[in-house]
């Protein structure tokens, strides 16, 4: 009898819970297309990251992650959802999660953790340093996606910022000031702004520039090599950063031409590239075998300021990378991957 009573009570609790859930969840949206699309997008964002939790980034990607990334593509290519509450909540959660994760599981020894930020933004973290590449607020200057408060929580944990070029999806003056106001260096290819000396470091030449950059407040120095690249006629720095732990990270920004010249310079410099952070639309058939990185991370997916045809899709990245022999990872915003050494 006691067992039967327990089963009955459990059954009643379940019925009451279902009734409560039904009262909270909307069951139809007739005549309210906008709310329908927003709620659908919010559900997809939530469930996609549940899939990512079960199937984290890997060089041996399975159909589960591919489907989840394709679901993100579909939502992020629907212009009706741009700047809607679902998207804004989604990107806020991503940056909040990165800010929480950065101090939580710092790499040990010679391990390196790579975080995928928005667009071509990456954060490289080791036991001794945390480095930002092309960190931006997203959106327009007067209506950005990521709040200054949230971005400051990221900048506070980074030791230096590298900016590839002056396009708004790769650089923001407000983000740069978050670094320089703390005495942290911001490295740029040309003089973007005039009020950030002495911490705005212009590194640019017709050939390779080599410089050691001491990190204020850290007992650490980065060996930095800058290769002169371009996006069209705009100077675009290609950074080769050797970490205190010994690994070398290469970030190409939006360099989409003269791959042979870049490869020649890299090979002439005789530097082993451990990690290549590269725009997904790059000519990887030429770049990957030429640079010979140990692992590749693709970026510049789904830049929301671009037209739909230029919001580079994850599914298209897999097609572009199909024949690449180098191990590579495709990560969504907010994800990270630990490279063990």
The answer to whether residues 241 and 249 touch, using CB atoms and an 8 Å cutoff, is yes
Q: Confirm whether 19 is domain-assigned.
A: no
Dihedral, CA of residue 135, residue 215, residue 98 and residue 254, to nearest 10 = 30
Q: Is the peptide bond before 198 cis (omega within 30 degrees of 0)?
A: yes
| Two tokens, residue 31 | 């005549």
User: Each residue of 65-119: pLDDT tens digit?
Assistant: 999 999 999 999 999 999 999 999 999 999 999 999 999 989 999 999 999 999 9
Residue 217 maps to a domain: yes
Q: Which tens digit of pLDDT belongs to each residue from 168-199?
A: 999 999 999 999 999 999 999 998 887 787 89
Q: Is residue 8 part of a domain?
A: no
Residues 6+ apart with CB under 8 A from 194: none
- Average pLDDT on 202-227 reads 94
In the chain the first and final C-alpha atoms are separated, in Å, by 60
The pair phi, psi for residue 340, each rounded to 5°, is: -85, 140
pLDDT in tens, 114-167: 999 999 999 999 999 999 999 999 998 778 999 999 999 999 999 999 999 999
The residues with which 132 forms a beta bridge, in sequence order, are 123, 161
**Residue whose C-alpha is closest to residue 165's, from 231, 210, 72:** 231
In a domain, 15, yes or no: no
Query: What's the confidence (pLDDT) of residue 194?
Result: 79
What pLDDT band is residue 1 in, cutting at 50, 70 and 90?
Answer: low
- pLDDT for res 9: 42
Q: How far, in whole angstroms, is CA 117 from its chain's centroid?
A: 2
The dihedral sign for the CA sequence 85, 87, 57, 172:
negative
Residue 191 within a domain: yes
Q: Which domain holds residue 215?
A: 30-339
**Could you tell me if residue 12 is inside a domain?**
no
Strand order in 295-299's β-sheet? 209-214, 221-231, 234-242, 248-251, 275-279, 295-299, 328-330
Supply the pLDDT for residue 272: 94
- In the block, tokens 């009643």 appear at 12
CATH number of the domain within which 173 lies: 3.60.15.10
**What percentage of the chain's residues is helix, strand, coil (to nearest 5)?**
35, 20, 40
Q: Which residues of 167-196 are buried (b: 16+ CB within 10 A; e: fewer)?
A: bebbbbeebbbbbbeeebbbbbbeebeeeb
24 located within any domain: no
Cα-based torsion angle of the residue sequence 32, 38, 44, 47 in order, rounded to the nearest 10 degrees: -100
Rg (CA), the chain: 22
β-pair type (336-339, 328-330): unpaired
Q: Kindly state the tokens that stand for 9.
A: 């009570």
Q: What is the pLDDT of residues 4-61, one digit of tens each?
A: 545 444 444 454 454 544 447 889 999 999 999 999 999 999 999 999 999 999 999 9
pLDDT at 250 over 80: yes
Task: Tell me, yes or no, whether 75 lies in a domain.
Answer: yes
DSSP 8-state secondary structure symbol assigned to residue 144: E
> How large is the average pLDDT for residues 223-241?
95
Distance between CA atoms of 218 and 247, rounded to whole angstroms? 18
226 C-beta neighbours (distance < 10 Å), count:
21
Record the tokens describing residue 124, joined without a space: 């490289």
The DSSP symbol for 308 reads G
State both tokens at 139.
């959106």
Decide: 43 and 89 in contact? Cβ < 8 Å. Answer: no
Compute the average pLDDT of residues 237-259: 96
Domain count, the chain: 1
Cβ burial, residue 101 (10 Å; 0-12/13-18/19+): middle
Q: What is the rounded distance in angstroms from the CA atom of residue 21 to the CA atom of residue 220? A: 54
Render 160-171 in DSSP notation, one character per residue: EEE---SSTTT-
């Amino acid at each position: 009898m006691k067992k039967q009573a327990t089963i009955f009570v459990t059954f009643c609790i379940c019925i009451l819970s279902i009734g409560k859930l039904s009262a909270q969840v909307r069951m139809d949206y007739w005549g309210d297309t906008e709310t329908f699309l927003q709620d659908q997008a919010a559900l997809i964002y939530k469930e996609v990251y549940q899939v990512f939790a079960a199937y984290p980034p890997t060089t041996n990607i399975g159909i589960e992650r591919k489907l989840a990334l394709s679901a993100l593509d579909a939502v992020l290519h629907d212009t009706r959802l741009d700047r809607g509450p679902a998207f804004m909540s989604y990107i806020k959660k991503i940056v909040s999660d990165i800010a929480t994760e950065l101090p939580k599981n710092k790499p040990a020894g010679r391990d390196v953790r790579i975080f995928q930020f928005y667009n071509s933004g990456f954060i490289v973290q080791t036991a001794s340093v945390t480095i930002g590449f092309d960190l931006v607020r997203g959106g327009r200057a007067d209506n950005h996606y990521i709040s200054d408060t949230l971005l400051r929580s990221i900048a506070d944990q980074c030791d230096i910022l590298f900016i590839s070029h002056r396009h708004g999806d790769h650089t923001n003056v407000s983000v740069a000031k978050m670094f320089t106001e703390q005495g942290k260096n911001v490295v740029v290819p040309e003089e973007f702004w005039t009020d950030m000396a002495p911490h705005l470091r212009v590194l640019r030449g017709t050939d390779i520039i080599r410089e050691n950059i001491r990190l204020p407040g850290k007992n650490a120095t980065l060996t930095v090599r800058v290769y002169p690249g371009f996006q069209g006629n705009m100077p675009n720095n290609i950074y080769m950063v050797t970490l205190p732990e010994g690994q070398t990270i290469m970030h190409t920004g939006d360099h989409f031409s003269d791959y042979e010249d870049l490869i020649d310079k890299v090979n002439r410099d005789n530097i082993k590239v451990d990690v290549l952070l590269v725009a997904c639309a790059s000519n990887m058939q030429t770049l990957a075998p030429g640079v010979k990185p140990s692992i590749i991370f693709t970026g510049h997916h789904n830049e929301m300021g671009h037209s739909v045809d230029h919001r580079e899709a994850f599914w298209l990245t897999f097609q572009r990378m199909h024949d690449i022999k180098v191990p590579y990872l495709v990560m969504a915003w907010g994800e990270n991957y630990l490279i063990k050494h």
